[in-house]
């Protein structure tokens, strides 16, 4: 009774408190809007237009060209934001220039802080493999803390592009192929970057990119066109962007691609109808690098004036790097093609974010050199980076329990172009990360095994065809008890403008692997890469394969933790690994087709020369222990629309190690007004079990998980039969059916 009373009081208190908070937020918003209006009133048209421009500094280069006069632009009040400039002292210097203009409107400093700023965390695709939202949020939190301490206010992240084509180099920047997982990860990243208070000096504004559907670029070729149905757009591609906006992200970046013929940067359907009218987005929209200029290459604008007009009227507030807004908007207003109130709206959105960041109160609040010194690469940040890195590793194969390696091992050969490599470990988009500070695999292994005889040979380069290092590598392999073979692709082969037509290991690395294999020594392959690779031969021949992606500053330590059993791997693939490029697009949630694959029927949906099955399915990843999935049970076999179904399954750790497992729940709608995927991830739980321990897990299913865009494009559910599939990956599942009546 007493407990009940306390609980009731607590509930009332928290309702009142949250009401109080909401009231406060609404009041703050109103206050900010008033302040914004009072600033706007004082501005000339030229000053307003200046706020709509973003230029890069010459400190870093993330696009084709740099505007050398950017400092002159600042002094003239013709720029509202600068990117690629960081450091408390440097940003202070630029901010002072802005403070000497008539309106003294503070500059906003942005940068691509994608997976860490100085302490580099695993690339986003790797972090997604952790399926650990708290870890992903922490990674963004540390990145924001370091970035803000270096004068930055704004990161161009998270990238929320669903990516189903591993040829596209930018799969490395996102959360992989799945909409549900991608949405949760997008939210975790926004929370990590923005924290609870944008005005705090350890948070930065997030930027949801690349809006929209950039990940569907045709043929995996970067910057290419996208043509897709509205159903596919809304069901698969849009939800992660929306999730990030719902989590409070205050800015959005347009994508480079055209969507059904209209480039995103001129796309009013995306930037106004969906973003603002449907999703109620209140922040500002920035273009990607020179995207307004590119409207001319897309062939939708004849000149700079038309390109600017199309963008501003679509709802694009800030011009990154084209300089077209500065050049054209004043005239467009004078000739009546663009109203001044359209300009005002864009300015207001930008000023609002500057107020939210606290820049009007103190434009130098993020330029604190003391704070900068004590914040960057703190030991606790390095520790977090190591932990997130371990969590991101996926064990793809482990025959006869060859891993973990006994620490008493006498001699170990570490071979391959990634064995003593630091340069590539921090991956692409590694912000202000200094690769020379990263821990190589060789260093990590030596630190772990101070007593062992650790031999090293490069074996080959990453991408050329020289076999000059083979003999030495074979020689040391013969002397060792076990070989760690570190293979992969270079960091520059992933990220922007890094599409590949082959997913094979580049150069002569496969030949090197074959040579080492011929020695007959046990081999554990450590892969370093930013996308799925076609590694059929390795999968067939080599007993152990560890997918380590690009793990960042602490890569070598994290991999050594896993290789020698101090950490039991628990990562699961966030993207399908194909057997051959010819299978692409291949993802777990494909349609059944009218002629589902049947090995005995020629006229079924399959290839003549290869199986339909991927090499490793979405959600796949092994552990040093084994998990046994019990039978699935349902609270009912039939539910009505307002009911919730409880699904239970027991999981047992039947192996010898304590371990973590990601238990994944998929749903299939068996008959609907449109054909539905063969399964879709709808929930997961990451659990930890001691050896021998079992746990009963419960999942709740309601119509929310059963909804989709129906034949008439309304969103909702349809009654009928559904299948629930639960497993440790998307292929090996226990299944049960139920009816929605």
Of residues 200-259, those binding ligand NOJ (CB under 6 A):
209
Nearer to ligand NOJ, 416 or 433 (CB): 433
- Tell how far CA 219 is from the center of its chain: 21
The 3-state DSSP class for residue 648 equals strand
Exposure string of 242-277, with b = 16+ CB inside 10 Å and e = fewer, is bbbbbbbbbbbbbbbbbbeebbbbbbbbbbbebbbe
Is 62 near ligand NOJ (CB under 6 A)? Answer: yes
Q: How far is the CB of 213 from ligand NOJ (least distance, A)?
A: 14
What tokens were used for 352? 């609002």
Q: How far is the CB of 55 from ligand NOJ (least distance, A)?
A: 11
Instruction: Please pick, among 73, 165, 288, 669, the residue that the annotation labels catalytic.
Output: 288
Nearer to ligand NOJ, 118 or 209 (CB): 209
253 neighbors 209 (Cβ within 8 angstroms): yes
Q: Which of 47, 73, 112, 235 binds ligand NOJ (CB under 6 A)?
A: 112
Q: Which of 33, 63, 201, 682 binds ligand NOJ (CB under 6 A)?
A: 63
Closest CA to 497 of 158, 117, 217: 217
Q: How far is the CB of 223 from ligand NOJ (least distance, A)?
A: 9
- Tell how far CA 421 is from the center of its chain: 24
Query: Which pairs from 335-341 meet CB under 8 Å and 24+ separation?
Result: 337/305, 337/309, 338/309, 338/312, 338/313, 340/45
Nearer to ligand NOJ, 496 or 561 (CB): 496
**Dihedral pair phi/psi, residue 196, rounded to 5°:** -95, -10
Sign for the CA dihedral angle at 636, 637, 640, 642 comes to: positive
- CA end-to-end span of the chain: 38
Is 294 near ligand NOJ (CB under 6 A)? Answer: no
Nearer to ligand NOJ, 209 or 587 (CB): 209
Closest CA to 128 of 517, 479, 394: 394
417 neighbors 487 (Cβ within 8 angstroms): yes
Q: How far is the CB of 667 from ligand NOJ (least distance, A)?
A: 33
What tokens were used for 670? 């068996």
Q: Which of 55, 156, 237, 738 binds ligand NOJ (CB under 6 A)?
A: 156
Task: Output the 3-class SS for 195-226.
Answer: CCCCCCCCCCECEEEEECCHHHCHHHCCCCCE
Round to whole Å and give the CA distance between 627 and 448: 28
Q: How many CB atoms lie within 10 A of CB 114?
A: 27
Of residues 180-209, those binding ligand NOJ (CB under 6 A):
209
Round to whole Å and give the CA distance between 451 and 566: 17
Nearer to ligand NOJ, 117 or 660 (CB): 117
Collect all residues with Cβ–Cβ distance below 8 Å to 377 and sequence separation of at least 6.
Answer: 118, 119, 146, 437, 553
Nearer to ligand NOJ, 177 or 496 (CB): 496
Q: How far is the CB of 112 from ligand NOJ (least distance, A)?
A: 5
Q: How far is the CB of 155 from ligand NOJ (least distance, A)?
A: 9
Is 109 near ligand NOJ (CB under 6 A)? Answer: no
Nearer to ligand NOJ, 81 or 681 (CB): 81
Dump the DSSP string for 114-156.
Answer: SSBSSSB---HHHHHTTT-HHHHHHHHHHHHHHHHHTT--EE-
Q: How far is the CB of 83 from ligand NOJ (least distance, A)?
A: 6
Q: How far is the CB of 289 from ligand NOJ (least distance, A)?
A: 4
Q: Which residue is nearest to ligand NOJ (CB)?
A: 62
Q: How far is the CB of 426 from ligand NOJ (least distance, A)?
A: 17
Nearer to ligand NOJ, 56 or 119 (CB): 56
Round to whole Å and give the CA distance between 469 and 419: 13
Per-residue contact flags (x/-) with ligand NOJ for residues 535 to 574, judged by CB under 6 A: ----------------------------------------
Q: Which of 73, 146, 177, 288 binds ligand NOJ (CB under 6 A)?
A: 288
Q: C-alpha distances in angstroms, 366 versus 90, 153, 196, 252, 357?
A: 11, 8, 17, 22, 10
Nearer to ligand NOJ, 64 or 696 (CB): 64
Per-residue contact flags (x/-) with ligand NOJ for residues 699 to 718, judged by CB under 6 A: --------------------
Is 577 near ligand NOJ (CB under 6 A)? Answer: no
Phi/psi region, residue 734 (left: phi>0; alpha: psi -120 to 50; beta: rest), is: beta
Q: How far is the CB of 288 from ligand NOJ (least distance, A)?
A: 5
Closest CA to 393 of 116, 686, 127: 127
Is 289 near ligand NOJ (CB under 6 A)? Answer: yes
What tokens were used for 276? 């603002």
Number of residues that bind ligand NOJ (CB under 6 A): 8
β-strand pairing of 262-263 with 251-254: unpaired
Round to whole Å and give the CA distance between 513 and 64: 38
DSSP 321: S
Nearer to ligand NOJ, 67 or 652 (CB): 67
What tokens were used for 183? 């949405």
Is 153 near ligand NOJ (CB under 6 A)? Answer: no
Q: How far is the CB of 363 from ligand NOJ (least distance, A)?
A: 23
Is 284 near ligand NOJ (CB under 6 A)? Answer: no
Active site residue 288: yes
Nearer to ligand NOJ, 156 or 709 (CB): 156
What tokens were used for 594? 């009218």
Of residues 85-104, those binding ligand NOJ (CB under 6 A):
none
Q: Which of 496, 547, 561, 661 binds ligand NOJ (CB under 6 A)?
A: 496
Of residues 376-395, those binding ligand NOJ (CB under 6 A):
none
Round to whole Å and give the CA distance between 247 and 252: 13
Binding site for ligand NOJ (CB under 6 A): 62-63, 112, 156, 209, 288-289, 496
The residues carrying an active-site annotation are: 288
């Amino acid at each position: 009774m007493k407990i009940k009373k306390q609980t009731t009081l607590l509930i009332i208190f928290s309702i009142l408190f949250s009401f109080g908070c909401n009231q406060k937020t609404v009041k703050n918003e109103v206050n900010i809007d008033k302040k914004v209006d009072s600033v706007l009133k004082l501005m000339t048209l030229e000053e307003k237009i200046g706020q709509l421009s973003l230029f890069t500094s010459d400190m870093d280069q993330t696009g084709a060209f740099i505007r050398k006069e950017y400092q002159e632009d600042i002094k003239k009040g013709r720029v509202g934001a600068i990117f690629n400039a960081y450091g408390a002292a440097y940003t202070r210097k630029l901010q002072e220039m802005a403070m000497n203009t008539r309106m003294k409107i503070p500059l906003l400093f942005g940068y691509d802080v994608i997976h860490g700023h100085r302490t580099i965390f695993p690339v986003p695709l790797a972090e997604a493999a952790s399926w650990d939202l708290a870890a992903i949020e922490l990674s963004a939190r540390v990145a924001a803390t370091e970035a803000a301490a270096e004068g930055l206010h704004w990161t161009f992240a998270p990238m929320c592009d669903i990516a189903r084509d591993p040829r596209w180099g930018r799969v490395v920047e996102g959360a992989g192929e799945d909409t549900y997982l991608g949405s949760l990860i997008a939210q975790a990243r926004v929370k990590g970057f923005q924290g609870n208070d944008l005005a705090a000096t350890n948070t930065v504004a997030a930027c949801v990119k690349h809006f929209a559907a950039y990940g569907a670029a045709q043929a995996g070729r970067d910057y290419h066109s996208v043509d897709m149905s509205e159903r596919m757009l809304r069901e698969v591609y849009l939800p992660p962007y929306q999730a990030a906006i719902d989590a409070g992200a205050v800015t959005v970046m347009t994508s480079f691609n055209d969507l059904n013929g209209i480039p995103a940067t001129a796309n009013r359907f995306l930037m106004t109808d969906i973003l603002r009218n449907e999703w109620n987005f209140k922040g500002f929209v920035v273009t990607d690098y020179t995207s307004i200029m590119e409207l001319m290459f897309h062939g939708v604008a004849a000149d700079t004036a038309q390109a600017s007009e199309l963008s501003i009227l679509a709802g694009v507030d800030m011009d990154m790097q084209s300089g077209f807004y500065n050049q054209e908007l004043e005239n467009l207003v004078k000739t009546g093609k663009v109203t001044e109130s359209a300009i005002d709206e864009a300015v207001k959105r930008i000023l609002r974010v500057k107020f939210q960041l606290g820049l009007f109160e103190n434009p130098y609040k993020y330029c604190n050199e003391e704070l900068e010194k004590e914040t960057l690469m703190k030991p606790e940040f390095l520790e977090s980076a190591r932990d997130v890195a371990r969590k991101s590793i996926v064990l793809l194969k482990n025959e006869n329990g060859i891993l973990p390696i006994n620490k008493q091992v006498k001699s170990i050969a570490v071979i391959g172009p990634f064995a003593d490599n630091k340069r590539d470990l921090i991956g692409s988009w590694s912000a202000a990360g200094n690769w020379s500070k990263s821990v190589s695999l060789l260093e990590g292994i030596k630190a772990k095994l101070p007593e062992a005889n650790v031999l090293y040979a490069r074996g080959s380069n990453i991408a050329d065809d020289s076999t000059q290092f083979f003999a030495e590598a074979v020689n040391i392999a013969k002397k060792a008890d076990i070989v760690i073979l570190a293979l992969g692709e270079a960091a520059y082969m992933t990220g922007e403008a890094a599409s590949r037509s082959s997913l094979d290991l580049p150069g002569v690395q496969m030949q090197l692997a074959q040579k080492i294999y011929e020695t007959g020594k046990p081999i554990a392959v450590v892969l370093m890469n930013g996308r799925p690779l076609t590694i059929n031969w390795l999968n067939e021949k080599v007993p152990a394969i560890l997918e380590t992606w690009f793990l960042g500053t602490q890569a070598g330590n994290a991999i050594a933790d896993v290789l020698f059993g101090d950490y039991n791997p628990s990562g699961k693939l966030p993207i399908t690994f194909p057997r051959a490029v010819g299978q692409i697009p291949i993802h777990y949630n494909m349609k059944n087709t009218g002629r589902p694959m049947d090995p005995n029927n020629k006229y079924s949906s399959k290839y003549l020369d290869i199986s339909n099955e991927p090499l490793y399915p979405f959600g796949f990843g092994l552990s040093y222990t084994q998990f046994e999935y019990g039978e699935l049970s349902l609270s009912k076999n039939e539910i009505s629309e307002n009911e919730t179904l409880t699904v239970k399954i027991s999981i047992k750790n039947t192996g010898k190690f304590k371990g973590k497992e990601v238990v994944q729940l998929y749903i299939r709608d068996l008959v609907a007004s449109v054909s539905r995927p063969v399964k879709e991830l709808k929930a997961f739980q990451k659990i930890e079990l001691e050896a021998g321990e079992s746990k009963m897990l419960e999942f709740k299913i309601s119509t929310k998980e059963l909804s989709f865009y129906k034949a008439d494009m309304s969103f909702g559910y349809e009654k009928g039969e559904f299948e629930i599939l639960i497993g440790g990956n998307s292929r090996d599942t226990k299944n049960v059916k139920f009816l929605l009546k």
